[in-house]
Structure 1
Amino acid sequence: MKTPNGLQALIDDGVIDEVLRPLKSGKEAAVYVVRSGGEVRCAKVYKDMAQRSFQQRVQYQEGRKVRGSREARAIGKATKYGRRQQEAAWKNAEVDALYQLRDAGVRVPEPHGYFNGVLVMELVTDAEGFAAPRLGEVELGAAQARDFHAVLVRQVVRMLCSGLIHGDLSPYNVLVGPDGPVVIDFPQVVSAAGNNAARTMLLRDVNNLTAYLGRSAPELFDTWYGEEMWALYEAGELRPDSALTGRFVHDTRRVDLDSVRDAINEAREEAIIRQQGREAAAEED
């Protein structure tokens, strides 16, 4: 295939040998299957800010660190230099998160480097060696849905213990490999301690998973893992191996339980809408 402009520099520098085929394309980035040093990997080429339309970007960037005070002031003033720094910080967020989460034992693709705005990483495959399907594309029985839910809740716990929240977790940001779910796509990663919306985003992430997997195992709808792990996190008691029950006693003076449960159903609808948007974007490309 014709080499995309974003990958030609990596070929010239010997980072990758050839581009085999496109894997997927969305509003934020395009991913290609490449050959590098005899290994088949994938390369994620981030699109320029002008080409992207991700909503509520500022909300996700709250709490992220920048290199220095000059950069922070420039970003705050939205100068041309500041916009370039903001763009670089947005791209670096996923790279940094992947290395941090891999070291924390989270199931993520193995990163192999970041070159000229391109993230080269492991190509997650299925048992036959083909590109792994997304969780939202897989039919599950009740037992498998429960198992996947337990695995993914544990990944969310490990992320939170590392100080990070995915921020956009859904069945379409999870791949199903031979050993189970692998979490992908971290450009919207959120600082658990530095973002005022951290709790809301954590609960939404967990609710998205529960909404989808609960279709196969309805008893999951009566679990409250997000609330339970956040309460432990706030108390400084959450550990990567903390035993969770899925039970949580709400303060009914502060929480409308019906609204919380409705949020799970809304999360399911939101996941469907997002997927339709991704498919429409892919068709346009």
Structure 2
Amino acid sequence: MKVPPQLLPLLEDGLIDAVVRPLRSGKEAAVFVVRCGEELRCAKVYKDAQQRGFRQAVAYQEGRKARNSRQMRAMEKRSRYGRREAETAWHSAEVDALYRLAAAGVRVPQPYGLFDGVLLMELITDPAGDAAPRLGDLPLTAEEALDCHARLLADVVRMLCAGMVHGDLSEFNVLLTADGPVIIDLPQVVDATANNSARALLERDVSNLGEYLGRFAPQLQGRAYGPEIWQLYAAGTLHPDSVLTGHVEADTTPANVGDVMREIEAARLEAELRQAGREAAAQR
């Protein structure tokens, strides 16, 4: 096969020994199976901003830290330097998240480093040693769906306890192995404390999982796991072993106009994010 130009420097520097085959192409990157010594790994080649179907929406960028004030000003002004720095930050967000989440006990691919816009990481495999399938490509029994949902919900909680929200989680961003699900695709991860969209994104992530797995296990439908997780997080009582019920207590306190307006804005944003997620899924 013709070697993608982005992978040539890695071949020349001996970081990879061969490009085996394409694995899949998504909205923000193309992934290739590569050989490093005797081991097969993944090389994720990020697409140029103009080629990506998934745009760096303000909702995802908010709260991300720049290396210095000059970089932040350039990114805000969208200068040529600023756009280049924004791209670097976009790429770095995923590898940083992978290291942090692995340390928090979340099942994610092991990263091996970011090299000129190419992320080298573990190849997640099935029992036969082939690339593991996406959750959305598999039929499941009710028991399998319930087990998968419980494992993913636990990882969502671990992510939030580590201060992060995936932001684009669905059946297309989960690989299924013999040992359970593995979460992938994290360049859009947001800071739970610094991003005003974190709650809407968290609830959308959890809703996406419930809607898909609820096709196989109807008892998952209509559960309020997302609001429950955020309620515990906001109260400072969420921890990795929190027991979830899928229910939240109704708030009987008098409405505050300011709070109501913020809820309306959050609902509007969530609707926009859902639409963006549907459009992105259609492009896969």
Compute the TM-score of the two structures, normalised by the length of structure 2.
0.90
- Which stretch shows the higher mean deviation, 204-213 or 236-245? 236-245
Contact kept? 1:107, 1:155, Cα under 8 Å? yes
Partner Cα distance (1:271, 1:74) in 2: 29
Secondary structure in 2 aligned to 1:121? strand
Match of 2:222 in 1: 222
- Which stretch shows the higher mean deviation, 242-251 or 17-26? 242-251
Contact kept? 1:208, 1:271, Cα under 8 Å? no
Q: CA RMSD in A?
A: 2.1
Aligned length: 271
Partner Cα distance (2:82, 2:51) in 1: 18
1:275 is aligned, of 257, 278, 281, to 281
Q: Which blocks of at least 5 consecutive residues in structure 2 are unaligned? A: none
Match of 2:84 in 1: 84
Q: Which blocks of at least 5 consecutive residues in structure 1 are unaligned? A: 279-285
Secondary structure in 2 aligned to 1:50? coil
Secondary structure in 1 aligned to 2:236? coil
Distance 1:77 1:276, change over 3 A: closer
Contact kept? 1:171, 1:271, Cα under 8 Å? no
Using the aligned pairs only, state the percent identity.
58
Partner Cα distance (2:104, 2:212) in 1: 26
Match of 1:201 in 2: 201
Match of 2:26 in 1: 26
Contact kept? 1:224, 1:247, Cα under 8 Å? yes
Partner Cα distance (2:102, 2:246) in 1: 25
Secondary structure in 1 aligned to 2:50? helix
Q: How far off is 1:270 after superposition? A: 7.7
Partner Cα distance (1:53, 1:219) in 2: 34
Distance 1:140 1:270, change over 3 A: farther
Match of 2:153 in 1: 153
Partner Cα distance (1:221, 1:49) in 2: 36
Contact kept? 1:107, 1:183, Cα under 8 Å? yes
Q: How far off is 1:222 after superposition? A: 3.1
Amino acid aligned to 1:275: A
Partner Cα distance (1:272, 1:54) in 2: 11
Match of 1:15 in 2: 15
Q: How far off is 1:194 after superposition? A: 0.7
Partner Cα distance (2:140, 2:179) in 1: 15
Q: How far off is 1:109 after superposition? A: 0.5
Contact kept? 2:148, 2:180, Cα under 8 Å? yes
Amino acid aligned to 1:17: D
- Which stretch shows the higher mean deviation, 150-159 or 239-248? 239-248
Amino acid aligned to 2:169: L
Match of 1:41 in 2: 41
Partner Cα distance (2:280, 2:2) in 1: 30
Match of 2:173 in 1: 173
Amino acid aligned to 2:88: A
Match of 1:64 in 2: 64
Amino acid aligned to 1:121: M
Secondary structure in 1 aligned to 2:96? helix
Q: How far off is 1:250 after superposition? A: 3.1
Amino acid aligned to 2:58: V
Amino acid aligned to 1:132: A
Q: How far off is 1:152 after superposition? A: 0.4
Q: How far off is 1:178 after superposition? A: 1.2
Partner Cα distance (1:236, 1:89) in 2: 29
Amino acid aligned to 2:234: E
Match of 1:184 in 2: 184
Contact kept? 1:170, 1:271, Cα under 8 Å? no
Amino acid aligned to 1:66: A
Contact kept? 2:27, 2:283, Cα under 8 Å? no
Match of 1:123 in 2: 123
Match of 1:108 in 2: 108
